[in-house]
A and B are shown apart, each in its own frame.
Chain A
Amino acid sequence: MTGTIPAPAPVVGRTREGIAQRLAEDLQDGYVVNLGVGIPLLVPRFLPADKEVVLHAENGVLGIGAEAAPGQEDPDLTDAGKQPITLISGAAITDSALSFAIIRGGHLDCTILGALQVSASGDLANWYVPGKNPAVGGAMDLVAGTPQVWVAMEHVDRTGRPKIVPECTMPLTGKGVVTRVYTDLAVFHVVDGALRLVECAPGVTPEDVRANTTAPYTEHLAG
């Protein structure tokens, strides 16, 4: 009688908040940053008090402050997710063309985006699942113009399929645009068009990362 081989237990790495917290450690004082939806929206709550990071929203807000308190919402002041916000001291408002001049012109330091897939050469797919509803927003402008494109995402999708893949099978947002990937299992950098594993999450081994990643990459782990 042959027994079935038990499926390996899923690797447990960082939580969604943990991914955001790890990424926030790498933001530098003085950075101007645009945040996409999903895990990137968790990043502001983990910014250290000794760093000043200015947040930009594509609808023309440079210097987003805290969420508006209940009863204090202003319909004329919202973020890119159409949620009521406040402004920080020193904030500026622009129209949409100037907002995208800031984005496309390379005047942001970093954009943090969610992803459906990232390829071995840093291609990004994050706007369209074929057969579902297409909507692109500012994603293609952000990856075209921002020097650093950091992806914050779960390492595998809900069915366990790797999202860091040799080639994207989903429609691209941009080619060779991703510079870093932060997941629950690991941190990758893209250097000269190739993925480097630079860090495993606490409790996660390089073998765990290999087993959940179909893209080729090299290991550059500290220590």
Chain B
Amino acid sequence: MIDKFREDVLSVVDAVPSGASIAVGGFGSSGRPDALLDALCELDKRDLHVIVNNVGHDFTGVGRLLHEGRLRRVTASFPILQEFYDEYFAGRVELELIPQGTLAERLRAGGAGIPAFFTPSGAGTMLSDGSFTLRYAPDGGVAEHVPAKETRLINGREHVLEEGIVADFGFVKAHKGDRKGNLRFRLSARNFNPMAGMSGRTTFAEVEHLVEADELHPDDVHLPGVFVDDVVLSTGKAPAIDDPAAAPTRKAS
């Protein structure tokens, strides 16, 4: 009998080795799987490649991983945390910056068996032409660029070849989930979570409410349990609304 629910989040997340890539759901703190991310810190995992839309506004969630020096690379569209940029310009963390729609589609494609696709987003910009800095040298020079992406004229318009992302792990937060791993999200907390769950070779879901079999109507399942390996309970209070006024000030670097 399939029962994917696990009481102990630490024993689940301990399957993640240092050095792993992890696709993480959430948009800001909305729908962000903090119980799973905190477990990475408790278990002292390091050298991680996190694929996520935002690093965050503070030192919670992915921001905590950054603050504790656990990140090797971030693939994101809107990192925004000042300490992240400080680490990036110092050459201590890599940044692969990509358009937000490209990020969503790369995660979806990776989980859908599509190795690459052409998109008009980013054509003719430094996010596709090989001039964006992936990693700075400690002296402030450029150590490595994000490689130029292949382009093709389709219907007379330039498009960029973007690769699907298959992450070692997917971290997802859902409003409700059952023991088969079927998930239902709530309002705009859905965001990147279905795609992060699809992208992971192994996917963990933290749920606010564990529900009994058949409580989720098949029509109401947003991400089927076939994409989910383990289900744990989300801990702590609901995340606070991000407050830009309380965020670290953006400054020139």
Contact = CB atoms under 8 A, between A and B. Distances in A.
A204 B201 CA distance: 61
Contacts of A74: 187
B191 A171 contact: no
B10 interface: no
A96 B191 contact: yes
A78 B188 contact: yes
Given A60-B188, A82-B242, A173 B125 contact: yes
Contacts of B244: 81-82
A15 to B, nearest CB: 23
A83 B188 CA distance: 11
A99 B100 CA distance: 10
Interface in A45-81: 57-61, 73-79, 81
Nearest to A100: B101
Contacts of A104: 101, 119-121
B79 A135 contact: yes
Given A137-B78, A138-B100, A172 B124 contact: yes
B240 A59 contact: no
A133 B124 contact: no
Contacts of A36: none
A35 interface: no
Contact of A76 (B85, B132, B187, B253): B187
Contacts of B252: 131-132
A122 interface: no
Contact of A171 (B120, B126, B253): B126
Nearest to B195: A97
B31 A76 contact: yes
B253 A133 contact: yes
Secondary structure at the A interface, as helix, strand, loop or mixed, is loop
Interface stretch (A140-148, A183-191, A206-214): A140-148
A136 interface: yes
A69 to B, nearest CB: 13
B92 interface: no
A97 B29 CA distance: 18
A95 B241 contact: no
Secondary structure at the B interface, as helix, strand, loop or mixed, is loop
A82 B105 contact: no
B250 A133 contact: yes
Given A59-B30, A140-B121, A95 B194 contact: yes
Nearest to B28: A82
A100 B105 contact: yes
B120 A136 contact: no
Given A96-B100, A103-B101, A137-B100, A78 B194 contact: no
A98 to B, nearest CB: 9
Nearest to A91: B187
A60 B125 contact: no
B238 interface: yes
B19 interface: no
Interface string B89-119: 0000001011111111101100000000001
22 contacts: A57-B188, A74-B187, A75-B189, A75-B238, A76-B30, A76-B186, A77-B187, A78-B242, A93-B190, A95-B185, A96-B192, A103-B101, A104-B101, A133-B85, A133-B250, A134-B95, A135-B77, A135-B79, A136-B99, A137-B100, A172-B124, A173-B125
Given A138-B100, A175-B124, 12 more contacts: A57-B188, A58-B100, A59-B188, A60-B190, A75-B238, A76-B187, A97-B104, A136-B78, A144-B119, A144-B122, A172-B125, A175-B123
Interface of A: 57-61, 73-79, 81-84, 93-97, 99-100, 103-104, 128, 131-141, 144-145, 171-175
Interface of B: 27-31, 53, 57, 77-80, 82, 85, 95, 97-105, 107-108, 119-127, 132, 175, 185-195, 222, 238-242, 244, 250, 252-253
Q: Which 8 A-B pairs have the closest CB atoms?
A: A100-B101, A141-B101, A82-B242, A82-B28, A96-B104, A140-B99, A144-B120, A76-B189
